[in-house]
Amino acid sequence: MRRAQVGKVLAGVILFGIIFAVMRLTAGERTATMPLEGGIRDVLAPVQAAATQAGRIVYEGLGTLFSLGRAARVEQLEKQVRQLEGKVAELNEYKVENERLRRLLAFREETRDRYELLAADVIARDPGNWFGTITVDRGAADGVRPYMPVLLPEGLVGRVLRVSQHTAEVLLITDPHSGVGGVVQETRTPGVLRGIVNSYGRLRMTYLAKDAPVKKGHTVVTSGLGGMFPGGIPVGKITAVRPEPTGVTKEAFVEPLVNFGHVEEVLIMLRVTPGG
**Residue ranges that bind another protein, judged by CB under 8 A:** 16, 19-20, 22-24, 26-27, 30, 33, 37, 40-41, 44, 47-48, 51-52, 54-56, 58-59, 123-131, 133, 135, 161-162, 169, 176-177, 196-198, 200-201, 261
Cα end-to-end span (Å), the chain: 71
Min CB(191)–another protein separation in Å = 18
* Nearer to another protein (CB atom), residue 56 or residue 73: 56
Amino acid at 18: I
Quickly count: other Cβ atoms within 10 Å of residue 188's Cβ. 12
* Nearer to another protein (CB atom), residue 93 or residue 137: 137
Min CB(41)–another protein separation in Å = 7
Residue 256 forms beta bridges with which residues?
Answer: 236
* Nearer to another protein (CB atom), residue 40 or residue 65: 40
Whole-number Å distance between alpha carbons of 209 and 248 = 8
* Nearer to another protein (CB atom), residue 66 or residue 130: 130
Strands (E), the chain: 115-125, 133-136, 149-152, 155-163, 168-172, 179-184, 189-195, 203-209, 219-222, 234-243, 249-256, 265-272
Min CB(231)–another protein separation in Å = 28
Nearest 5°: the CA angle 174, 176, 178 is 70
Min CB(23)–another protein separation in Å = 4
User: Which residues have a Cβ under 8 Å from the Cβ of 131 and sit 6 or more positions away?
Assistant: 175, 176, 177, 198, 199
User: Which residues have a Cβ under 8 Å from the Cβ of 176 and sit 6 or more positions away?
Assistant: 130, 131, 194, 195, 196, 197
User: Sign of torsion, CA 145 116 76 137?
Assistant: negative
* Nearer to another protein (CB atom), residue 112 or residue 202: 202
* Nearer to another protein (CB atom), residue 36 or residue 105: 36
Min CB(180)–another protein separation in Å = 17
Min CB(193)–another protein separation in Å = 15
